Structure 1
């Protein structure tokens, strides 16, 4: 069994035709979805790059592996996995696999992909490293022009300074883009693995840096979609009333109110264009795999680390707001012999780890927070957890959150301020926080107890705060952790 693992960064699920966007131009990913399993409730364990990617490597939830923030905005957490931590690429290489990675790493600071057994250039950082020596060599080899941008889009920060760069035009042909370069390098490594005289199986990952902002693309993608055709998200009407104050602060940080609404439409249109650029490169990779006769021997995964706001809730990027925009993501898997289907079970990026191990015939025991999706991919109907957890630990500053998402409702616990409860049937855009509504007490109490139980079973010690602050039912331990009330001395 070979593996092709295609991953994007900060990718909204509603940018793909396969997930209902009628304007999207994503024929290659749509075709992959139509020939495999499309998961409609695929979630990230945390909406931040490095912790999510560390979870993929280990099969551990972020609270367990403890790499909890991007090092560019580190708030005092670990920046690399401790020595000796189980990771699936090492397990695959020990099994005799060729293991390659082309693209974004961002799963540590000091340790590189090679430390986990990956072949391929180390491409560090959170954005396209356009000054990387291998990319510059690629441009020179093909007589392509260097990176250059213009028509920058940004707002104004609360202190009056220029806001973060959100988009810009790239003065390069598509063949010179970093995305095209990554696909080219992937195809070369794919061909090398296919020609291996030892006939080793392979795991090959391509991790695109986009469509993470800033959306920097050539004119043909910058102008591919007419902003007039863009339907603004309903949550653009967000008032932050009854919400944690940090959300309004983040909106100011991302300068939303300093730009006309027409700019938001244009940013969404450019974001869709960026997705199309990546889809085309994925198409090149999939076509190369087919031409090498590998389709019937290769499982293909497509997903991302987390979503993106793109103006939803008057926000950009991601952050301390556990909305569907950044926690629900695309997830598509095609296995040899599988049949086209759509699944409604709650699954996670975390579950990729155990699935890969399972398909490779390896034990999944050390991927302790991961579940193999193989029964679902085979069309079976096993017992499955009816809800899913999410966690967040901070970005720019420490900020702990925990989330429980079930079929209809979502509960978010925010120790610093107000908790959140959303009815995703009547309020799919999560505009109305009904946590304090009296009629919601039975739902609130039930979900709080369920969240508490799941966290305690995991030994995610966030549950200690919940023990004393909320109705979580009877406890079977001393919540003060003192033990002195019962102490006796002879």
Structure 2
């Protein structure tokens, strides 16, 4: 079976029509969801680009593959996967798959997509590399104007300097945008692969709708800011929460800009989502025209979400809210029924699914589970909860999270822990970790997280052993030989 993997970066679930947004035009992704499986509880293993993408490549959680931070903000972690790390393209090559990757790579510093067998223009970095020779050649061949922006939107940092660029008006026609360029290159790969008759895996990884949102007029002004209902969590006070969240809000300059600017930023973000959807539609339409749809499984997901003002934050960071951990997850498997699933799934499950659909053993994707039974409409026993982790961005900051049907627990070793009742407080505004009525929930989730981390070999559990209510010990936490059953106490 051919495999088409479509991925965006920093993409909020609630910007898609198929996930309930009544304002944003996403007809192509809505059509994909209507003809495939939409996972309503799809999560990233970590809300940061490089570790999440490395987890997709390996089927391993970040603590296991150890690529824990983006190169641009790395503070001492590894910058490349180990040479002997398992990756799914190695397995697919053994099945004679053609491998293509067009777009964002961001899985290391020295080892590129080509190092793992992927064809495609090498496009490094965290955002559209508008000075890349292949993109410049694309513009020149078509007589299109180069990148130029104006009307920059940014706030002011705590020390009085200009904040990071959040959005700007792009003075190019849509055909000249980096998004159109990526779709064009992907279509060229599709056409070439179709002519060979051999199976293919083709990934198209858009850099958007990651900030800054740089859009032509038609998309920058596509949505009226008056349509934007500000997120309820804009009422965030950070009371009873880790101080780092308040610090991040200041870093992203939220309070230095009026709320009408936030509305405009969200409206521009919506425009970016529509631009990307249109380019995805070009790829999907060409797949149909080439007669490949009946033999091709199509995936759509993102590496993580985006705040866009939620919790008075932008970008992502050391706060494990649904805004950045829940991601879109759509898979269309030929012959499988259209459906919506409520199981907890994640990016590493995509890895195991890719392997199974290619006729490979999914077992090396040790932290994933193949979605094929779910895609076929079956109802196997499935985990009732999910976990995620974070290791830092700009500075080390370890976190672990578990959420189930109703509650979410976040463990922050340097600060206060967090517990949210997602049914009573879906916007995660009230930290109820210390509330006595939720003590049984807290204890249950803490023990469940502790057991899962120990089972997986995630040494974060060592801090939890003496610090939290995890019940009676069944091991020596010193990991020593100083005490045995024969040693007098």
- Give the structure-2-normalised TM-score: 0.99
Deviation track 1:181-228 (CA, whole Å, cap 9, x = no partner) reads 0000000010000001xx210000000000000000101000000000
Deviation track 1:213-264 (CA, whole Å, cap 9, x = no partner) reads 0000101000000000100000000000000000000000000000000000
Correspondent of 1:204 among 186, 202, 205: 202
Query: Which residue of structure 1 aligns with residue 262 of structure 2?
Result: 264
Aligned residues: 487
Deviation track 1:13-69 (CA, whole Å, cap 9, x = no partner) reads 000000000001000000000000000000000000000000000000000000000
In structure 1, distance between residues paired with 2:339 and 2:396: 40
Deviation, 1:476, is 1.9
Query: Which residue of structure 2 aligns with residue 6 of structure 1?
Result: 6
1:375-386 matches, cutoff 5 A: 375-386=373-384
In structure 2, distance between residues paired with 1:97 and 1:455: 35
- In structure 1, stretches of 5+ residues that fail to align are none
Query: Which residue of structure 2 aligns with residue 191 of structure 1?
Result: 191
Deviation track 1:295-334 (CA, whole Å, cap 9, x = no partner) reads 1000000000000000000000000000000000100000
1:76 correspondence with 2:103: no
Correspondent of 2:323 among 318, 322, 325: 325
Query: Which residue of structure 2 aligns with residue 214 of structure 1?
Result: 212
In structure 1, distance between residues paired with 2:407 and 2:107: 32
1:25 correspondence with 2:18: no
Deviation, 1:488, is 7.3
Deviation, 1:361, is 1.1
Deviation, 1:486, is 2.6
1:383-462 matches, cutoff 5 A: 383-462=381-460
Query: Which residue of structure 1 aligns with residue 112 of structure 2?
Result: 112
In structure 2, distance between residues paired with 1:75 and 1:402: 19
In structure 2, distance between residues paired with 1:391 and 1:119: 31
In structure 1, distance between residues paired with 2:428 and 2:44: 18
In structure 2, distance between residues paired with 1:475 and 1:336: 49
1:70-469 matches, cutoff 5 A: 70-196=70-196, 199-469=197-467
- 3-state DSSP class of the match of 1:161? coil
Deviation, 1:11, is 0.2
Deviation, 1:172, is 0.1
Deviation, 1:487, is 8.5
In structure 2, distance between residues paired with 1:95 and 1:473: 48
In structure 1, distance between residues paired with 2:62 and 2:258: 37
- Give the structure-1-normalised TM-score: 0.99
Deviation track 1:325-367 (CA, whole Å, cap 9, x = no partner) reads 0000100000010111000000001110000001111101211
In structure 2, distance between residues paired with 1:18 and 1:483: 57
In structure 2, distance between residues paired with 1:351 and 1:269: 32
In structure 2, distance between residues paired with 1:319 and 1:408: 23
Moved over 2 A (4+): 485-489
Deviation, 1:473, is 1.4
In structure 2, distance between residues paired with 1:487 and 1:160: 62
- In structure 2, stretches of 5+ residues that fail to align are none
- 3-state DSSP class of the match of 2:175? helix
1:39 correspondence with 2:39: yes
